[in-house]
Amino acid sequence: MNELIESLVDRLGTDDVRQSSVIPWSSPVPVFGNLGTSTVATLGLNPSNREFVDANGRELDGNLRRFHTLRSLGIDTWASARIKHIRLIVDSCRRYFAVNPYDAWFRRLDNIIGARASFYGSAAAACHLDLIPYATARKWTELVPNERARLLRAAGDTLGVMLRNSSIRVLLLNGRSVIEHFVELSKTTLSSRPINAWCLPRSEAPVLGYSYRGRTTCFGSIPLGREVLVLGYNHNIQSSFGVTTGVVNSIRQWFGRAARNALA
Protein backbone atom coordinates (compact mmCIF):
# COMPACT_ATOMS: atom_id res chain seq x y z
CA MET A 1 0.00 0.00 0.00
CA ASN A 2 2.85 2.40 0.78
CA GLU A 3 4.20 2.05 -2.76
CA LEU A 4 0.80 2.72 -4.32
CA ILE A 5 0.13 5.78 -2.13
CA GLU A 6 3.58 7.13 -2.96
CA SER A 7 2.84 6.74 -6.67
CA LEU A 8 -0.56 8.45 -6.33
CA VAL A 9 1.01 11.33 -4.39
CA ASP A 10 3.57 11.76 -7.19
CA ARG A 11 0.76 11.85 -9.77
CA LEU A 12 -0.79 14.83 -7.96
CA GLY A 13 1.90 16.88 -9.69
CA THR A 14 1.03 15.76 -13.22
CA ASP A 15 -0.89 17.94 -15.66
CA ASP A 16 -3.68 15.36 -15.98
CA VAL A 17 -4.46 15.58 -12.27
CA ARG A 18 -3.78 19.28 -11.74
CA GLN A 19 -6.10 20.26 -14.59
CA SER A 20 -9.02 18.08 -13.50
CA SER A 21 -10.61 19.90 -10.54
CA VAL A 22 -8.84 17.68 -7.97
CA ILE A 23 -8.70 19.38 -4.57
CA PRO A 24 -4.97 20.17 -4.67
CA TRP A 25 -4.29 19.94 -0.95
CA SER A 26 -6.18 16.65 -0.42
CA SER A 27 -4.43 13.30 -0.15
CA PRO A 28 -5.25 10.41 -2.49
CA VAL A 29 -7.78 7.91 -1.11
CA PRO A 30 -7.39 4.49 -2.78
CA VAL A 31 -9.42 2.64 -0.13
CA PHE A 32 -11.90 3.33 2.67
CA GLY A 33 -11.31 0.73 5.37
CA ASN A 34 -9.01 -2.23 5.78
CA LEU A 35 -8.21 -3.82 2.44
CA GLY A 36 -6.23 -6.58 4.14
CA THR A 37 -9.22 -8.03 6.00
CA SER A 38 -11.87 -7.49 3.31
CA THR A 39 -13.51 -10.09 1.09
CA VAL A 40 -16.20 -7.68 -0.17
CA ALA A 41 -15.64 -4.26 -1.72
CA THR A 42 -18.14 -1.69 -2.92
CA LEU A 43 -17.17 0.53 -5.82
CA GLY A 44 -17.91 4.19 -6.48
CA LEU A 45 -16.60 6.86 -8.84
CA ASN A 46 -14.29 9.00 -6.71
CA PRO A 47 -14.11 10.34 -3.13
CA SER A 48 -16.60 13.06 -2.24
CA ASN A 49 -15.30 16.52 -1.44
CA ARG A 50 -17.16 16.08 1.88
CA GLU A 51 -14.41 13.69 2.93
CA PHE A 52 -12.24 16.80 3.22
CA VAL A 53 -14.53 19.80 3.73
CA ASP A 54 -17.73 20.64 5.61
CA ALA A 55 -20.98 21.93 4.09
CA ASN A 56 -19.47 25.43 3.94
CA GLY A 57 -16.34 24.30 2.12
CA ARG A 58 -14.05 24.57 5.14
CA GLU A 59 -11.35 21.95 5.64
CA LEU A 60 -12.32 19.35 8.23
CA ASP A 61 -10.07 19.46 11.27
CA GLY A 62 -9.62 17.95 14.72
CA ASN A 63 -12.03 15.12 15.53
CA LEU A 64 -13.93 15.83 12.31
CA ARG A 65 -10.94 15.15 10.06
CA ARG A 66 -11.21 12.03 7.90
CA PHE A 67 -8.12 12.09 5.69
CA HIS A 68 -4.82 13.90 5.63
CA THR A 69 -4.11 17.12 3.78
CA LEU A 70 -1.01 19.19 3.21
CA ARG A 71 -1.87 21.18 6.33
CA SER A 72 -2.42 18.18 8.59
CA LEU A 73 0.85 16.63 7.40
CA GLY A 74 2.72 19.90 7.96
CA ILE A 75 4.09 20.20 4.43
CA ASP A 76 3.67 22.87 1.75
CA THR A 77 3.70 20.72 -1.38
CA TRP A 78 3.21 17.05 -2.21
CA ALA A 79 6.76 16.98 -3.53
CA SER A 80 7.83 17.35 0.11
CA ALA A 81 6.04 14.16 1.20
CA ARG A 82 8.30 11.54 2.78
CA ILE A 83 7.74 7.96 3.90
CA LYS A 84 6.41 9.11 7.30
CA HIS A 85 3.73 11.13 5.52
CA ILE A 86 2.87 8.20 3.23
CA ARG A 87 2.41 5.95 6.27
CA LEU A 88 0.07 8.48 7.88
CA ILE A 89 -2.07 8.56 4.72
CA VAL A 90 -2.18 4.76 4.62
CA ASP A 91 -3.24 4.63 8.27
CA SER A 92 -6.03 7.18 7.74
CA CYS A 93 -7.43 5.00 4.94
CA ARG A 94 -7.25 1.82 7.01
CA ARG A 95 -8.87 3.37 10.10
CA TYR A 96 -11.54 5.34 8.21
CA PHE A 97 -14.62 3.54 9.57
CA ALA A 98 -13.34 3.65 13.15
CA VAL A 99 -12.77 7.43 13.20
CA ASN A 100 -15.33 9.73 11.53
CA PRO A 101 -16.85 8.00 8.48
CA TYR A 102 -19.23 9.88 6.21
CA ASP A 103 -22.18 7.87 7.50
CA ALA A 104 -24.76 9.78 5.47
CA TRP A 105 -23.28 8.03 2.44
CA PHE A 106 -21.86 4.76 3.78
CA ARG A 107 -24.59 3.56 6.15
CA ARG A 108 -27.06 3.03 3.31
CA LEU A 109 -24.46 1.14 1.30
CA ASP A 110 -23.56 -0.92 4.36
CA ASN A 111 -27.22 -1.85 4.69
CA ILE A 112 -26.96 -3.63 1.33
CA ILE A 113 -23.79 -5.61 1.97
CA GLY A 114 -24.52 -6.22 5.66
CA ALA A 115 -26.03 -9.62 4.91
CA ARG A 116 -22.53 -10.85 3.99
CA ALA A 117 -20.06 -8.27 5.32
CA SER A 118 -19.84 -4.80 6.85
CA PHE A 119 -17.64 -1.73 6.81
CA TYR A 120 -18.07 -1.30 10.56
CA GLY A 121 -16.86 -3.05 13.71
CA SER A 122 -13.83 -5.02 14.83
CA ALA A 123 -14.72 -7.91 12.50
CA ALA A 124 -15.28 -5.70 9.43
CA ALA A 125 -14.88 -7.72 6.22
CA ALA A 126 -15.72 -5.02 3.68
CA CYS A 127 -14.09 -1.89 2.32
CA HIS A 128 -14.96 0.73 -0.27
CA LEU A 129 -12.95 1.43 -3.41
CA ASP A 130 -13.28 4.10 -6.08
CA LEU A 131 -12.41 4.08 -9.77
CA ILE A 132 -10.46 7.30 -9.25
CA PRO A 133 -8.71 7.87 -5.87
CA TYR A 134 -8.79 11.69 -5.94
CA ALA A 135 -11.45 13.99 -4.48
CA THR A 136 -12.64 16.71 -6.83
CA ALA A 137 -14.13 20.09 -5.92
CA ARG A 138 -17.17 19.25 -8.06
CA LYS A 139 -19.08 15.98 -8.33
CA TRP A 140 -17.85 13.53 -10.96
CA THR A 141 -20.98 14.07 -13.05
CA GLU A 142 -20.33 17.83 -13.04
CA LEU A 143 -16.81 17.50 -14.44
CA VAL A 144 -16.41 18.18 -18.14
CA PRO A 145 -15.63 15.09 -20.25
CA ASN A 146 -12.00 16.15 -20.69
CA GLU A 147 -11.49 16.30 -16.93
CA ARG A 148 -12.95 12.84 -16.44
CA ALA A 149 -10.80 11.48 -19.27
CA ARG A 150 -7.66 13.01 -17.75
CA LEU A 151 -8.34 11.43 -14.36
CA LEU A 152 -9.11 8.04 -15.86
CA ARG A 153 -5.86 8.26 -17.83
CA ALA A 154 -3.87 9.35 -14.79
CA ALA A 155 -5.17 6.86 -12.24
CA GLY A 156 -7.38 4.34 -14.01
CA ASP A 157 -5.03 1.51 -13.05
CA THR A 158 -5.51 2.03 -9.30
CA LEU A 159 -8.49 -0.28 -8.89
CA GLY A 160 -6.69 -3.14 -10.65
CA VAL A 161 -3.69 -2.78 -8.36
CA MET A 162 -5.93 -2.70 -5.27
CA LEU A 163 -7.86 -5.81 -6.32
CA ARG A 164 -4.67 -7.68 -7.21
CA ASN A 165 -3.17 -6.97 -3.80
CA SER A 166 -6.26 -7.99 -1.85
CA SER A 167 -8.45 -10.97 -1.00
CA ILE A 168 -11.59 -9.35 -2.44
CA ARG A 169 -13.90 -12.01 -3.83
CA VAL A 170 -17.01 -9.89 -4.48
CA LEU A 171 -17.09 -6.39 -5.98
CA LEU A 172 -20.38 -4.45 -5.83
CA LEU A 173 -20.84 -1.59 -8.31
CA ASN A 174 -23.03 1.25 -7.01
CA GLY A 175 -24.92 2.87 -9.87
CA ARG A 176 -25.06 3.07 -13.66
CA SER A 177 -22.12 5.47 -14.11
CA VAL A 178 -19.88 3.24 -12.02
CA ILE A 179 -20.92 0.23 -14.08
CA GLU A 180 -20.26 1.98 -17.38
CA HIS A 181 -16.78 3.19 -16.39
CA PHE A 182 -15.89 -0.17 -14.81
CA VAL A 183 -16.81 -2.05 -17.99
CA GLU A 184 -14.82 0.42 -20.09
CA LEU A 185 -11.68 0.20 -17.95
CA SER A 186 -11.75 -3.47 -17.02
CA LYS A 187 -12.96 -4.89 -20.36
CA THR A 188 -15.30 -7.11 -18.31
CA THR A 189 -18.61 -8.25 -19.79
CA LEU A 190 -21.58 -7.96 -17.44
CA SER A 191 -25.00 -9.47 -18.07
CA SER A 192 -28.06 -7.47 -17.04
CA ARG A 193 -31.68 -8.20 -16.29
CA PRO A 194 -34.63 -6.06 -15.20
CA ILE A 195 -35.88 -6.33 -11.61
CA ASN A 196 -39.49 -5.21 -11.21
CA ALA A 197 -39.11 -4.57 -7.48
CA TRP A 198 -36.42 -1.97 -8.22
CA CYS A 199 -38.62 0.18 -10.46
CA LEU A 200 -38.68 3.86 -9.39
CA PRO A 201 -41.95 5.75 -10.06
CA ARG A 202 -41.85 9.00 -12.03
CA SER A 203 -44.59 11.36 -13.21
CA GLU A 204 -43.78 10.72 -16.88
CA ALA A 205 -42.23 7.25 -17.05
CA PRO A 206 -40.82 4.96 -14.36
CA VAL A 207 -37.07 4.37 -14.04
CA LEU A 208 -36.52 0.65 -14.49
CA GLY A 209 -34.20 -1.24 -12.18
CA TYR A 210 -31.51 -3.56 -13.51
CA SER A 211 -29.11 -5.99 -11.88
CA TYR A 212 -25.67 -6.72 -13.34
CA ARG A 213 -23.46 -9.75 -12.92
CA GLY A 214 -20.17 -11.06 -14.25
CA ARG A 215 -16.83 -12.57 -13.31
CA THR A 216 -13.34 -11.36 -14.02
CA THR A 217 -9.76 -12.51 -13.51
CA CYS A 218 -8.17 -9.25 -14.65
CA PHE A 219 -8.72 -5.52 -14.68
CA GLY A 220 -7.67 -4.31 -18.09
CA SER A 221 -4.10 -5.56 -18.46
CA ILE A 222 -3.66 -6.25 -14.72
CA PRO A 223 -4.10 -9.93 -13.79
CA LEU A 224 -5.81 -10.43 -10.42
CA GLY A 225 -4.56 -13.94 -9.75
CA ARG A 226 -8.07 -15.22 -9.00
CA GLU A 227 -11.68 -14.88 -10.08
CA VAL A 228 -13.74 -11.99 -8.68
CA LEU A 229 -17.53 -11.94 -8.76
CA VAL A 230 -18.79 -8.56 -10.02
CA LEU A 231 -22.32 -7.49 -9.09
CA GLY A 232 -24.09 -4.20 -9.64
CA TYR A 233 -27.33 -2.26 -9.87
CA ASN A 234 -28.19 0.77 -11.97
CA HIS A 235 -29.59 3.01 -9.19
CA ASN A 236 -27.27 5.18 -7.14
CA ILE A 237 -28.87 4.45 -3.78
CA GLN A 238 -27.52 7.60 -2.13
CA SER A 239 -28.73 10.09 -4.72
CA SER A 240 -31.30 8.56 -7.08
CA PHE A 241 -34.68 10.16 -6.39
CA GLY A 242 -37.28 7.69 -5.18
CA VAL A 243 -34.98 4.92 -3.95
CA THR A 244 -37.21 3.68 -1.13
CA THR A 245 -36.41 1.47 1.82
CA GLY A 246 -38.27 -1.30 0.00
CA VAL A 247 -35.98 -0.99 -3.03
CA VAL A 248 -32.89 -0.99 -0.82
CA ASN A 249 -34.10 -4.06 1.06
CA SER A 250 -34.78 -5.86 -2.21
CA ILE A 251 -31.25 -5.05 -3.45
CA ARG A 252 -29.89 -6.27 -0.11
CA GLN A 253 -31.69 -9.61 -0.46
CA TRP A 254 -30.51 -9.97 -4.07
CA PHE A 255 -26.91 -9.25 -3.10
CA GLY A 256 -27.04 -11.75 -0.24
CA ARG A 257 -28.21 -14.51 -2.57
CA ALA A 258 -25.85 -13.60 -5.42
CA ALA A 259 -22.75 -13.39 -3.21
CA ARG A 260 -23.47 -16.46 -1.07
CA ASN A 261 -21.36 -19.00 -2.95
CA ALA A 262 -18.45 -16.66 -3.61
CA LEU A 263 -18.15 -15.92 0.12
CA ALA A 264 -18.81 -19.44 1.42
pLDDT of 241 reads 74
> What does the alpha-carbon distance between residue 33 and residue 97 come to, in Å, rounded to a whole number?
6
Q: What is the pLDDT of residues 91-102, one digit of tens each?
A: 999 999 999 999
Cβ(234)–Cβ(254) under 8 Å?
no
Mean pLDDT of 61-83: 97
Mean pLDDT of 78-85: 98
Residue 171 forms part of a structural domain = yes
Residue 107 forms part of a structural domain = yes
Residue 264 forms part of a structural domain = no
Q: What percent of the chain has pLDDT over 70?
A: 100
What's this model's pTM, rounded to 2 decimal places?
0.96
Give the dihedral sign, CA 256/258/260/263: negative
Mean pLDDT of 229-234: 98
pLDDT of 202 reads 82
> What does the alpha-carbon distance between residue 120 and residue 149 come to, in Å, rounded to a whole number?
33
Q: Identify the band that residue 240 occupies on the pLDDT scale cut at 50, 70 and 90.
A: low
pLDDT of 254 reads 96
> What does the alpha-carbon distance between residue 165 and residue 75 come to, in Å, rounded to a whole number?
29
Domain count, the chain: 1
Statement: residue 154 has pLDDT above 70: yes
CATH number at residue 148: 3.40.470
Statement: residue 116 has pLDDT above 90: no
Cβ(241)–Cβ(231) under 8 Å?
no
Q: What is the pLDDT of residues 28-62, one digit of tens each?
A: 999 999 999 999 999 999 999 999 999 999 999 99
List, in order, residues 6 or more apart from 169 with CB less than 8 Å away: 39, 40, 226, 228, 229, 262, 263
Nearest 5°: the CA angle 109, 114, 119 is 65
Residue 245 forms part of a structural domain = yes
> Domain containing 85: what range?
2-259
Residue 90 forms part of a structural domain = yes
Q: What is the pLDDT of residues 187-218, one digit of tens each?
A: 999 999 999 999 998 878 889 999 999 999 99
Residue 164 forms part of a structural domain = yes
Mean pLDDT of 138-147: 95
